[in-house]
Amino acid sequence: METELFQTLETLRHLRAFNAWMFERLKPHLGERILEIGCGLGTFTPWLMEHGRVTAVDPSSDAVRYVAERIPHAEELDLREGSITDEATVDALEPRYDTALMVNVLEHIEEQGLALANAHRLLAPGGRLIVLSPWGPRLWGSLDEAFGHVRRYTRGSLRTAMQQGGFEVISLKPFNTLGIVGWLFAGKLLRHTRLESGPTKLYSLMFPVARLLEDLIRPPIGLSLIAVGVKR
């Protein structure tokens, strides 16, 4: 895993209140047999394990080792190195999951259609795919490039991609509106290549207000989109 991305993931992993808010948005759609596609440093893996059996897959051997050290000998966790676009990885998994998650993952994958088709293949009928990915092509900046993004989504492009993957989209909502300000400042104005700890800590202080405003006002845009699709 590249150093800049690893450092950013490590910074984000410590934003516990923010991550808990994000998980609250994902939690209503979770089942008991969960496939975590692109687990990264395992930010959400322990919370997912509270809901059931988790298979966590990541293409980075560094990330897999990191998660294995953080969550050793867990009976609820099946941790594997591999990619959702790699047929050998997919063939080794059983098509039995009732939930699959791609949290800040799909925007990294060139073969988007293959990734979604394979996620569809691994879900049981009625299973749900939860996707959280960055919104707004006009927000593209140095952070996107540093993180290895290949696209940012609109509502329409994410809906279309999931439908083409075989999913019926039952929910598509923005998330983290205030984060747009920080992303533009860091990625457009300052041209940063990682999330610095100072501004991130500042956002942590502002987070309770940001969450309250978003929950009350429900703005139409956010730094990310959360989409839920069902395999019919």
Residue pLDDT, tens place only, 90-140: 999 988 999 999 999 999 999 999 999 999 999 999 999 999 999 999 999
pLDDT > 90? residue 1: no
- C-alpha–C-alpha distance, residues 38 and 53, integer Å: 16
What is the pLDDT, as a whole number, of residue 25? Answer: 95
pLDDT of res. 11:
75
Residues contacting residue 150 through CB under 8 Å, at least 6 positions apart = 107, 108, 109, 110
> How far, in Å, CA of 76 to CA of 50, rounded?
9
Residue 2 has pLDDT above 70, yes or no: no
- The confidence score (pLDDT) of residue 4 equals 63
pLDDT of residue 174: 96
Query: How far apart, in whole angstroms, are the C-alpha atoms of residue 47 and residue 49?
Result: 5
Under the banding of pLDDT at 50, 70 and 90, the label for residue 3 is low
Give tens-digit pLDDT for 10-69. Answer: 777 778 888 999 999 999 999 999 999 999 999 999 999 999 999 999 999 999 999 999
Compute and round to an integer the Cα radius of gyration of the chain: 17
Q: What is the pLDDT of residue 208?
A: 84
3-state SS class at 46: helix
Domain residue spans of the chain: 3-231
DSSP symbol at 106 = G
| The CATH number fitting domain 3-231, selected from 3.40.50.720, 3.40.50.150, 3.50.50.60, 3.30.70.270 | 3.40.50.150
pLDDT for 222 equals 95
Q: What is the pTM of this model?
A: 0.94
pLDDT at 110: 97
- Three-state secondary structure call for residue 131: strand
In this predicted structure, what is the pLDDT of residue 210? 82
The span from the CA of 131 to the CA of 111, in Å, is 15
List the structure tokens of 75.
């009976």
What percent of the chain is modeled with pLDDT above 90? Answer: 72
Confidence of residue 142 (pLDDT cuts 50, 70, 90): very high
Q: What is the pLDDT of residues 179-221, one digit of tens each?
A: 999 899 999 988 998 887 777 777 777 788 888 888 898 899 9
User: Is 114 buried (19+), middle (13-18) or exposed (0-12) by CB count in 10 A?
Assistant: middle
